[in-house]
């Protein structure tokens, strides 16, 4: 606790004490005042004052015959006397006749010690009890059930619990996660096995003079298993696991976050060897610069304390700090230098083999029909994270329950892929016949353009059933094999496929609808990347005109060129889009009969498979003239 915060806490307590004192002195004890004069008079004088109706308020105690009263206009003087034995009834009659107010006030004690005790001792006692109660509540709120109380810490620190880290501590026997529970991240597991070996056999490394890295930074998109693999390291090594989110260090009061960091490493030092995991470390580890962050004293002090603790703890005790983030570009360079987070372990989206392994891992606990083809599900989910794949398996199991089945089928998992990608079916959305016709031609336009281009992925499903994501229909394409490189021609083919829906609307209905909004957005983004990132245009060649922001999140691209160049970039993007649109129009004109046939078929069935689509597309048209044979 720094001195500034201690002074602030004491001021708060002083203000509370003053308020309590005022309440007690003005509400509870209104008649107690050190300036009031006490005068003792005879009983006959009491009767004379009552007869003269000079008495304002009077108190009579039947137990000891004591009388106290005040006169009109003499509120600062209290007259006391003792009634004669057997005169109770006559005294009560005299009080009623005089019209004086008989009240039950606290009996005045002219003893100075009694006055000091009531006026000063009682408020102080209430003040101390209030501070004790507040300190207990704060400690309980922070998870500290220790009944011992330190008033110095309570009053100076506003409750010692506020300095607690709040980290969730999992004992080694309760971690329950090992590397066999992590799939699709083989490279990350290999990189972390050395950490596990050090925690299990530290003397092997000490003998040769090697030091384990103080920390490892897990970077990757959301849902790739960063938290899971950190727990797996602790589970493999059989050591305690401390888990805390970066946002839990952020406090309203300056110095609280730094105190939590100190407490976290203090606990870790006591339970070493152990794993300390800080999730979303970019919350407190953002780069210090002149853009306003340095003005936030609380966050900067928390970061400085974290840097200090990582430099200062004894590495030989086996404390390993793991941190996770999906925004490594925003972290402070001091956090990434050797001696702190020495290693950077990528946790990328899984490839085809990784997706198969993840699906198999999660499907192990689900009852399924024999012959489930998880390879098909893996191929249909490129770009899916481990969390997405776990959700697909769970959605498939939930669908089986909704259908009153005891085992999940291939159809359940295939439908769950569409649920995760496009959302649930919107049964309440009923399209008119004309709208259904427009959507049918739109989706078949995409499919025909894709099928008539060699570099496009095969069409696997076409539907015009509305989804909760807002889509009124969609065409699903699935690559047969995993691809890591894309040629310029493949990019141009994909642009043409994006334009196929709008091209079909224009060709058949000679009008445009809002249904192509998402197609236009995706196509424009791809065309702009061709110009600014991929160097696939003759005008600009191999020149990077943009940088990617948040590579693991939305991958937004910001232009890094002069305003005049940006205008030329826009012109090239428009030209690419127009060429793709013209190619789509030409392909659909050449397949206009099939466009009508397939659109009517889709409108009738609402959902068709890729096999049905290709069978109808490749079927010979009896109305077309046959090519003469030579």
Percent helix / strand / coil, the chain, rounded to 5: 55, 15, 35
Q: Which residue has the tokens 């888990």?
A: 243
| Cβ contact 213:199 at 8 Å | no
- As a whole number of angstroms, the distance between CA 49 and CA 59 comes to 14
SS3 for 106-158 is CCCCCCHHHHHHHHHHHHHHHHHHHHHHHHHHHHHHCCCCCCCCCHHHHHHHC
**Sequence-separated (6 or more) residues with CB below 8 Å from residue 626:** none
Q: Which residue has the tokens 């960091």?
A: 261
253, 408, 230: which is closest to 324 by C-alpha?
A: 230
476, 421, 419: which is closest to 450 by C-alpha?
A: 476
Total count of residues recorded for the chain: 630
- The arrangement of strands across the sheet holding 66-71 comes to 37-40, 74-82, 66-71, 55-61, 101-102
Q: From the candidates 270, 443, 579, 620, give the one annotated as an active-site residue.
A: 443
The token pair that represents 254 in the structure block: 């300056």
What SS3 class is residue 81? strand
619, 610, 267: which is closest to 446 by C-alpha?
A: 610
End-to-end CA distance of the chain: 97
- The arrangement of strands across the sheet holding 474-477 comes to 474-477, 459-463, 607-609
- As a whole number of angstroms, the distance between CA 131 and CA 551 comes to 50
- As a whole number of angstroms, the distance between CA 224 and CA 420 comes to 16
| Cβ contact 369:408 at 8 Å | yes
The token pair that represents 100 in the structure block: 């004086």
Provide the pairing of β-strand 459-463 with 274-279: unpaired
Burial label for 619, CB within 10 Å (0-12, 13-18, 19+), is exposed
- As a whole number of angstroms, the distance between CA 252 and CA 254 comes to 7
The token pair that represents 323 in the structure block: 């941190």
Relative orientation angle of helices 186-200 and 226-237, to the nearest 10 degrees: 30
The token pair that represents 270 in the structure block: 């006591």
Asked about 309 being catalytic, the answer comes back as no
Provide the pairing of β-strand 168-170 with 241-245: antiparallel
| Cβ contact 397:408 at 8 Å | yes
| Cβ contact 584:449 at 8 Å | yes
Residues involved in catalysis: 443
């Amino acid at each position: 606790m720094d001195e500034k915060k201690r002074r602030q806490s004491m001021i708060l307590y002083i203000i509370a004490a003053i308020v309590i004192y005022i309440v007690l002195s003005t509400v509870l004890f209104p008649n107690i005042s050190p300036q009031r004069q006490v005068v003792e008079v005879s009983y006959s004088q009491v009767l004379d004052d009552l007869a003269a109706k000079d008495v304002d308020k009077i108190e009579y105690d039947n137990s000891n015959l004591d009388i106290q009263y005040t006169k009109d206009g003499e509120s600062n003087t209290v007259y006391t006397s003792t009634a004669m034995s057997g005169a109770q009834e006559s005294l009560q009659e005299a009080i009623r006749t005089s019209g004086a107010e008989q009240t039950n006030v606290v009996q005045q004690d002219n003893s100075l010690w009694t006055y000091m005790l009531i006026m000063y001792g009682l408020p102080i006692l209430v003040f101390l009890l209030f501070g004790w109660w507040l300190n207990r509540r704060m400690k309980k709120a922070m998870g500290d059930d220790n009944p011992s109380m330190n008033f110095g810490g309570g009053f100076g620190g506003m409750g010692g619990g506020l300095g607690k880290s709040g980290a969730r501590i999992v004992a080694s026997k309760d971690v329950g996660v090992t590397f066999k529970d992590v799939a699709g991240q083989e490279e990350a597991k290999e990189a972390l096995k050395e950490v596990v070996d050090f925690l299990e056999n530290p003397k092997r490394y000490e003998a040769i003079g090697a030091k384990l890295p103080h920390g490892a930074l897990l970077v990757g998109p959301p849902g790739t298993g960063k938290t899971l693999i950190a727990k797996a390291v602790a589970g493999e090594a059989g050591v305690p696991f401390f888990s805390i989110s970066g946002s839990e260090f952020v406090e309203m009061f300056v110095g609280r976050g730094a105190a939590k960091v100190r407490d976290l490493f203090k606990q870790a030092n006591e339970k070493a060897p152990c794993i300390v995991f800080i999730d979303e470390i970019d919350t407190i580890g953002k780069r210090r610069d002149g853009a306003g962050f340095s003005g936030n004293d609380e966050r900067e002090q928390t970061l400085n304390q974290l840097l200090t603790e990582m430099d200062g703890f004894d590495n030989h005790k086996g404390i390993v700090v793991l941190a996770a983030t999906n925004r490594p570009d925003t972290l402070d360079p001091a956090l990434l230098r050797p001696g702190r987070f020495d290693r950077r372990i990528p946790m990328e989206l899984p490839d085809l083999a990784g997706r198969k392994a993840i699906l198999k891992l999660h499907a192990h606990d689900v009852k399924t029909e024999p012959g489930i083809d998880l390879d098909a599900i893996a191929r249909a989910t490129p770009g899916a994270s481990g969390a997405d794949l776990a959700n697909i398996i769970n959605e498939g199991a939930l669908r089986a329950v909704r259908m009153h089945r005891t085992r999940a089928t291939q159809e359940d998992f295939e439908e769950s892929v569409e649920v995760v990608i496009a959302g649930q079916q919107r049964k309440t959305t009923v399209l008119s016949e004309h709208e259904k016709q427009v959507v049918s031609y739109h989706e078949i336009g995409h499919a025909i353009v894709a099928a008539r281009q060699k570099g496009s992925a095969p069409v696997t499903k076409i539907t015009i059933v509305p989804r909760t994501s807002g889509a009124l229909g969609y065409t699903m394409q699935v690559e047969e094999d995993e691809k890591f490189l894309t040629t310029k021609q493949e990019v141009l083919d994909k642009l043409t496929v994006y334009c196929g829906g709008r091209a079909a609307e224009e060709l058949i209905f000679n009008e445009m609808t809002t249904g192509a909004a998402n197609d236009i957005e995706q196509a424009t983004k791809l065309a702009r990347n061709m110009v600014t990132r991929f160097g696939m245009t003759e005008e600009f060649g191999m020149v990077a005109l943009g940088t990617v922001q948040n590579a693991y999140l939305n991958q937004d691209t910001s232009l890094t060129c002069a305003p005049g160049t940006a205008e030329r970039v826009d012109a090239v993007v428009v030209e690419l889009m127009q060429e793709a649109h013209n190619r789509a129009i030409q392909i659909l004109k050449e397949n206009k009969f099939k466009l009508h046939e397939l659109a009517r078929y889709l409108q009738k069935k609402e959902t068709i498979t890729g096999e049905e689509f290709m069978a109808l597309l490749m079927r010979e048209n009896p109305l077309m003239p046959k090519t003469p044979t030579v």
